[in-house]
Structure 1
Amino acid sequence: MSKYKAAIAGCGGMANTWVEYALQHEDIEIVALIDIKKEFAEAMAARHGISCAAYEDVAEAIEQSGANVVFDVTIPASHFKVSSTAMRLGCHVMGEKPMSESIAEAQELIRISDETGKSHSIMQNRRYIAHIRALRELIALEQIGRVGYVGADFFIGAHFGGFRDLMDSPLVLDMAIHTFDQARFITGADPVSVYCHEFNPPGSWYAGNASAICIFEMSDGSVFCYRGSWCAEGANTSWESSWRIQGERGTAIWDGHEAPYAEVVKAGQEAKFNLETERIEAPYSWTGRSGHAGCLDEMFAALAEGRPAETDSRDNIKSMAMVLGAIESARTGRKVDLSV
């Protein structure tokens, strides 16, 4: 008998990744598929050879299937209703980002999680990459000393078509949370405030602002600067951004592709204009799986161990606040406080 009976809400493209994960694990049984149109759920069941009922209503699906875990892979506008309903009906929830459309909704989901004792964790798959884990460890070992500045550059010419081309803030709202969350993960610091300037440069194929510069003050006293564009043709960065982290004794570098490293000042030098540095390679001790699989592994491990997941909603709300705060700052032209 499977330990986890999963209902999957939302049968769009990303749901396939969640379905495939569940099918690879004997202790997870998919007992319900849910979508706004029942035929979409039925089509997914047929595509993956799943024998379970299809539903249009989350509450009905949980009550009739006996699900104890819900994968919320619906559109952002549905996350609050799906996740709150699932937790109140006795299910743990694992969902796609963003956890909700507002901080008020996110805070209410955390309250419901506390009230029901059910976990609520959010997919942040870009934490689960060996290179970023190594960069985090490099910083944690204080190889460059105390961090003062974190810079991330993200420049991609992304021709999606569809809804992103029509969004008001496609870059910040749909993509930047990955980089914002990575900055928190790498440094262990949380956001204090943000000033953001959004703009849409010449040649952009987006209706909304597809470029942004954000300056965050962080809880450890450092500054995190994000520079990004989704309409940048030529010399594209990695989807993981290009990182420069300045510490009191040196600098850590990660281009988003190759292994991160640091250049630190050699000890015992006499004072001079430019001090000599030495290269330090980042340590690789993490042995987890990459991407969505790694994040889902952590979510289920947390359930088994009775602890909050690394991407529990109580943590993720801080990354979400960075996104919504940046948008508010761009709209109002002022610095925004990010305490949540």
Structure 2
Amino acid sequence: MKKLLIYFLIVSSLLTTGCFFKQQSYNDTRFLMDTIISISTTGKDQASLKSTTDEAFIAFNDVADETDRYTSHNPNDLYALNQHNGQGAFAVGDHLYKLITMGKEEPYSAIEISLGPVIDLWRAHGENKTVPTDEEIKTALAKCGRDKFTLDKTNHTASLASDSSLDLGAIAKGYAVDYAASVITKNKAVTSALINAGGNIKVIGTKEDGSPWRIGIQDPRNAQKVLGVLALQNGQAIATSGDYQRYYEVNGVRYCHIIDPATGSPARNAISATAVSTSALTADFFSTLLFILPHDEAIAVVEKTPQLEAIIVNPEGEIYVSPGLQKIFTKEN
């Protein structure tokens, strides 16, 4: 009886400490939104992790399809809306309506979702390694602006002016990350997860050993190095915009893919801007905004915006780290 009691106590101890329930992990990587998307999950049941990860990718893909301006996926997507410009009200999908509403109502003019014509102009010139003329840029900018599109909340429709088109590149990926994360958090069997959409990252839960998630910030001028490492906690999200991700050069001048609506040309006030928040959408939006704004204005935005922290590298290579990150950012020597 004594031996049986000892055996029972040992088994109870093992169960209590979780030794019989070794944490499982599941990782999957796919190509969506013109970038590599990886989702890593941890929990006690491998089958549950796989099914949840698959569901998260389905959610991500739904947003990707609906916000793709270059390819048709369904009758209510962004491609279809842009093709319908100048023809009146058009019924759009739920994700698309939310993002267009955000683009219409957000207060910063440096983020403009109607820049489709300008983006197309630079994209065409980029293929030939040429630079648009001032007149070409002026003509394209004339087709942009928040007066070029309207929304009807009652009928869930959007209308575009003739020759206008929307581009949601500054916000769609972050929105997709949040949407995928909402699927993962519904499964209580998942104890932690990390979603990485080409640098748009959100962490869920805590690592098995209780340590924070360590996220490296790319050195914008050396692909083999990082500026430093951020220690993120449960629910935090991070996004980085930089002139090193997609660009071309003409006569030694770099032209990146992020357009300043004020000039119709690639932004040049920063070479990298990283935003940290509790929402991947918020981080995505502000990383773009902080990249476009003049350095002093960008810092002022960070300082006045609740739950926003940032790391900004100006063209001279000077690094600004906001006060809320200084204790959790370890700079590389």
Normalised-by-shorter TM-score class: under 0.3
Scaled by the length of structure 1, what TM-score is found? Answer: 0.24
Per chain length, whose mean CA-contact separation is higher, i.e. which structure has more relative contact order (CA < 8 Å, sep 6+)?
1
Higher Cα Rg, which structure: 2
Scaled by the length of structure 2, what TM-score is found? Answer: 0.24
Q: Would you tell me which structure has more strand in proportion to its own residues?
A: 2
